[in-house]
């Protein structure tokens, strides 16, 4: 007997997990940015957690660490862009079309709402603890999470065909 559920499962998986000709340059970059932001964010905050554990309190903001994070983020972004551009050079020179721009705007709007909610949560959490160092790290984490969400929403809209 023919099982329709397997067919729909297969179609859904192949549609969501397809890489290559079905994905445009902007969508590939969104995937790359999600990975880059997660890798750099985890690296940054693992260092902050280690420093906090050594101090026995929340570590204060560290400018050299933030500079290192920014450099690491930029280098990984450039590497990802070059790899994606080399894989399909014809797409790399094209700018975003109207659909890409609409998807970018929608992703930015949703991530902005998320960032606002996260900032309110950070302020409430710090209001209870009174630690300004904690506020700094919450805000920095919120910015990273909002960027991941922005690219995640863009991927969702590309996959849904929005």
Task: Tell me the per-residue pLDDT of 139-153, one tens digit each, with 9 for 90 and over.
Answer: 999 999 999 999 999
**Tally of structural domains, the chain:** 1
pLDDT for res 33: 96
> Is residue 16, in this structure, part of any structural domain at all?
no
Report how far residue 143's alpha carbon sits from residue 145's, in angstroms, rounded to the nearest whole number.
6
> Is residue 112, in this structure, part of any structural domain at all?
yes
> Is residue 2, in this structure, part of any structural domain at all?
no
Task: Tell me the per-residue pLDDT of 51-90, one tens digit each, with 9 for 90 and over.
Answer: 999 999 999 999 999 999 999 999 999 999 999 999 878 7
Task: Tell me the per-residue pLDDT of 102-123, one tens digit each, with 9 for 90 and over.
Answer: 999 999 999 999 999 999 999 9
Task: Tell me the per-residue pLDDT of 14-31, one tens digit each, with 9 for 90 and over.
Answer: 554 444 557 888 899 999
> Is residue 7, in this structure, part of any structural domain at all?
no
Residue 56: which domain range? 24-160
> Is residue 144, in this structure, part of any structural domain at all?
yes
pTM value?
A: 0.81
> Is residue 18, in this structure, part of any structural domain at all?
no
> Is residue 62, in this structure, part of any structural domain at all?
yes
Q: What's the angle, vertex CA 43, arms to CA 38 and CA 46, rounded to 5?
A: 115
Residue 92 has pLDDT above 80, yes or no: no
Q: Strands, DSSP E only, in 26-150?
A: none
């Amino acid at each position: 007997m023919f099982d329709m559920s397997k067919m729909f499962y297969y179609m859904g998986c192949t549609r969501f997990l397809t890489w290559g000709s079905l994905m445009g340059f902007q969508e590939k970059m969104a995937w790359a940015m999600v990975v880059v932001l997660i890798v750099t964010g985890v690296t940054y905050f693992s260092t902050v957690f280690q420093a906090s554990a050594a101090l026995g309190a929340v570590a204060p903001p560290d400018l050299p660490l933030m500079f290192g994070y920014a450099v690491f983020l930029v280098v990984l972004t450039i590497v990802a862009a070059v790899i994606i551009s080399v894989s399909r050079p014809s797409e790399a020179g094209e700018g975003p079309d109207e659909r890409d721009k609409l998807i970018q705007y929608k992703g930015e709007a949703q991530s902005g709402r998320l960032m606002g909610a996260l900032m309110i949560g950070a302020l409430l959490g710090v209001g209870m603890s009174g630690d300004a160092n904690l506020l700094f790290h919450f805000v920095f984490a919120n910015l990273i999470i909002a960027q991941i969400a922005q690219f995640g929403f863009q991927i969702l809209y590309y996959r849904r065909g929005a």
